Structure 1
Amino acid sequence: MNENSSQTIKELSENQEIKNSSELDNDAASQNEEDLSFEKSDIPSADSSSSRTNTDFDNAGFTQEEFASLLGKYDYNFKPGDLVKGTVFALEPKGAMIDIGAKTAAFMPVQEVSINRVEGLNDVLQPSESREFFIMSEENEDGQLALSIRRIEYQRAWERVRQLQKEDATIYSEVFATNRGGALVRVEGLRGFIPGSHISARKIKDDLEGEYLPLKFLEVDEERNRLVLSHRRALVEKKMNRLEVGEVVVGNVKGIKPYGAFIDIGGVSGLLHISEISHEHIETPHNVLNVNDQMKVMIIDLDSERGRISLSTKALEPEPGDMLTDPQKVFSKAEEMAAKYKQMLFEQTDDIEEIPTASNEAE
């Protein structure tokens, strides 16, 4: 008998005692004189038919209707979406039976036991274990509720990844599959997607399965069930920690577009925009650059928030147009020109600091 039923019977019994206190006092003396001995064979087993017969309410001091009425007062109002405490009392092939204090034991299907793949229920649950469960639906026709652990883990996983995104954290996750669009990983039990454009240029997509990659969050949208990550951005951030504006680096041309060329500089790509190739006008980058060309470029901007590195060869030209007429000259004098560029930036900064403010003029 559960706690609610015990409490109900206790109340009814107390009421009856008040009504019949004098009768009980008279019966007490005679009751002590009765022989209370019994044989073990008189006790019905838990499986015997006599243990399942209706209670004799006629001799209980209250009616069955009164019992049912009071029992209803203590029944919990379980609703879908609620979290309840429950105790596992049976593990079955298709799920687990959970005691949550309701009239009928609740049931948790095996597919709701975890957000992660498990071999069996006993990988997650043990008999007599008490924990929190999520109510998935209203009672069925048998008065039984359906429960879930997976829904709780799912909600908490989204809370966790939102917090990680807010902190701009770098995480590591194993690639478990690839497709035409990119690669698939799991983060806090949730399935995440890495677009092909956000995988390092040095990684062959089809060989990624089983590799642990550093990743940054691009999109976290629980409503649309979208979790998008970037391997490239994580690498760029790591690389950026060792780079600085005005630095000259050696790279290789990995791709050419109408708007510029992508240069691989140590595993990450930087953009050499068409406007930063030369002081002279250029119709298309294809007229100046070829894929796999090795060249020196100068870093002119580092955008860690968007994972972008902006490059320039224009700033390295000894004379305007050298990238078109004598690119080898640009290569050989790159460090010298970069030093002049840094000095120019330094002087510009000093000039800005020396500009008097309105408050200084007033003084």
Structure 2
Amino acid sequence: MASLAQQFAGLRCPPLSSSRLSKPFSPRPQNTAFSPVVSAVAISNAQTRERQRLKEIFEDAYERCRTAPMEGVSFTVEDFNAALDKYDFDSEIGTKVKGTVFYIDGNGALVDITAKSSAFLPVQEACIHRIKHVEEAGIVPGLREEFVIIGENEADDSLILSLRSIQYDLAWERCRQLQSEDVVIKGKVVGGNKGGVVAVVEGLRGFVPFSQVSSKSTAEELLDRELPLKFVEVDEEQSRLVLSNRKAMADSQAQLGIGSVVTGTVQSLKPYGAFIDIGGINGLLHISQISHDRVSDISTVLQPGDTLKVMILSHDRERGRVSLSTKKLEPTPGDMIRNPELVFEKAEEMARTFRQRIAQAEAMARADMLRFQPESGLTLNTDGVLGSLTQLTPDLPVEGLDLSAV
């Protein structure tokens, strides 16, 4: 019988190196059977379970968001809309918004108005008056104010704000109120033309025709002066504001009484006297009324711009003329030349004495008229004392007026 090798000698098998096995089979060591494979399978199973769990959580959350998105959520859709309404505003031009200034520089101020970007307040829109820096108008970081939207910056979609527009509206309202109350206000002359002068009142520019100026001054002479004014016409729609110095002077002059002491400023000197500005009224201090001593040259006593106290001697309301005196205020003759400070110090006291002398003269005239009129209620006793006239003449003493020496 042929050997086993001889029987299979004609069969061909591929070499071992080209089969699936890259290494010859070797027996497995004892006590280590399949341990690495079992560990890998265990880890793989744990990861699969965790991934499966996360997938189920995600699918459950997705389903709840799709079918009942607000279930278990305390912040409702209504709350969300209310929050939007709280921080949203109309950005149309002319809309008023509240804002807080948080930065300032030479150009203006940045304002937080709870919009998507900060708003800008230019320096020329910070105040109705002309200013060089917003701090002059009280604009500082932390200031919370109401602004009005006047435009939009196309570069960054930020809004441009204004305080001037709000103040402008308030100024017109204030002028209308002052006109209705017929009060006298002060206005500074800032310009003029052949028809009149321009004065600033309440931040607005008003026109004062020369026909409504009490003095015969030119626009150049009135420039930078403050004039007492009254409103003649207030028309915001036409931006028309007309004022009158003459009407204001009429009211002021009505309050000037003979013997009153007022403070004035020397405006100009003439050979015959000095013109004194007494609260917008030009009065004449004649050279003969400066002192009891003779004054040959006014410039030796007064200079333009000097401030002094004068007494009202006479007042012609129809012509608008006021006569003044410092002579009547001298404690002793010549004090206005030698010691004018003493004259001003004693001015009220000397004027009171002057008014009492005027009152005495009036009382004597009344006494002569009423001596034979018992029904008047006035009495003149045997000692020559006239009864109390304080109701008619407040400057007289209560105990009566002694006319025995008259």
Range into which the TM-score falls when normalised by the shorter chain: 0.3 to 0.5
State the TM-score, normalizing by the size of structure 2: 0.41
Larger Cα-atom Rg: 2
Q: Which has the higher contact order (CA 8 A, sep 6+)?
A: 1
